[in-house]
Amino acid sequence: MKKITLGISSCLLGNEVRHDGGHKRNIYVLNTLSEYFNFRPCCPEMAIGLGTPRPTIRLSRTADELRLVGSSEPDLDVTDEMNYWSEQSISDMHDLSGYILKSNSPTCGMERVRVYDGNGVPARDGTGLFAAALMKAMPWLPVEEEGRLNDPMLRENFIERVFVYFRWQKMINSGITVSQLMEFHQRHKSILLAHDEVEYRKLGPLIASVNKANLEEVANEYLLRAMTCLKAKASRKRHTNVLMHVMGYLKTKIDSDDKQELIEVMDKYRLGQVPLIVPITLMKHHLRKYPDEYISRQYYMDPYPEELMLRNSV
């Protein structure tokens, strides 16, 4: 499998680019994700010439304006430099399939970054300047912080979104057609349904409206809405609903004992007694014996390489 390219905060790869000359090497990124992804490292602070070691910087709010200034040197203000660099560099990042950011960073933090008021009192309600620019410019891009990847559900959600978006990029690069867009939706329907049924229901009419004349417009709207839908956590209840739907394609083929076993295993999953991989594995067993063309084309059963073992913990 071709490795997918992700952007990443440089320090997470062990590069010594921190203000103190250190790094924040992330073992999961290096030992597990590196098997499936290529990383394009970036340190915004180094990129604007701050160097290392360097004075620490922080976000400061004055009169509703957010500035990036020195923590102990308030005359050091690199806001304009950071905003300009972010705008210029993001234009070269459209080939990325996702981004892993360093948490708590005044440039790379995705959420809950400290923002200091005029009295030097922090509030955790900020976003790093580069991270904010990235998510504004590409709101469909899968973005996550390394700290949040410790949460099995958030980790699975991020990786699933990356693979969905990677498949979208391949389709776009090959020259999207009306039929390809409709097929893309068909093959991701179960995944979307597992995340947000309300948003999933809205995508159907959008796809039904596509034609050659409005293809680009509909495709752009579909991408944003689909990726927004996938940000919602896929709950056990919604996964169970999807699995019941899949079982519907087997109900005339498997006997009553097998059907009862499937229902019992799905119920154990719904109640949190077993992880998602258990009903998925049993379902795959029956689908191998009684394949169904529609289900076999759905990415839900295999949204990413099994070796990542993401469904073993959700």
Q: What is the pLDDT of residues 235-289, one digit of tens each?
A: 999 999 999 999 999 989 999 999 999 999 999 999 999 999 999 999 999 999 9
Tokens linked to 144: 């996550």
Rounded to the nearest 5 percent, the helix, strand and coil shares of the chain are 50, 15, 35
**Which of these, 20, 30, 21, 24, lies nearest to 11 by C-alpha position?**
24
DSSP 3-state of 105: coil
Q: Is the pLDDT confidence value at 298 over 80? A: yes
Read off the pLDDT of residues 183-203 as tens digits, 9 standing for 90 and up: 999 999 999 999 999 999 999
For 39-70, the pLDDT digits (tens) are 999 999 999 999 999 999 999 998 878 999 99
d(CA 204, CA 200): 7
First-to-last alpha carbon distance for the chain, in angstroms, is 25
User: Are 176 and 212 spatial neighbours (Cβ–Cβ below 8 Å)?
Assistant: no
Spatial strand order in the sheet of 113-116: 65-70, 57-62, 113-116, 122-126
- pLDDT confidence band for 118 (50 / 70 / 90): confident
Nearest one of 272, 1, 11, 15 to 152, comparing CA atoms: 272
Please give the helix or strand (H or E) that residue 269 lies within, else none.
helix 256-270
Residue 53: is the preceding peptide bond cis (ω within 30°)?
yes
Beta strands in 118-194 (DSSP E): 122-126, 143-145
| Residue appearing with tokens 């996702």 | 98
Share of the chain above pLDDT 90, in %: 96
Residue 269: its pLDDT value, please?
98
Q: Does the pLDDT of residue 306 top 70, yes or no?
A: yes
| pTM of the predicted structure, to 2 decimals | 0.96
Q: Tens digit of pLDDT for each residue in 155-177?
A: 999 999 999 999 999 999 999 99
Mean pLDDT of the chain: 96
Collect all residues with Cβ–Cβ distance below 8 Å to 37 and sequence separation of at least 6: 3, 4, 5, 6, 162
Token code pair at residue 313:
């913990």
CA-based torsion, 113, 84, 41, 152: positive or negative: positive
Q: What is the pLDDT of residue 253?
A: 95
- The domain limits of the chain are 4-150, 163-314
In terms of Cα–Cα distance, which of 118, 172, 179, 110 is closest to 142? Answer: 110
Cα–Cα distance for residue pair 63/55, rounded to 1 Å? 24
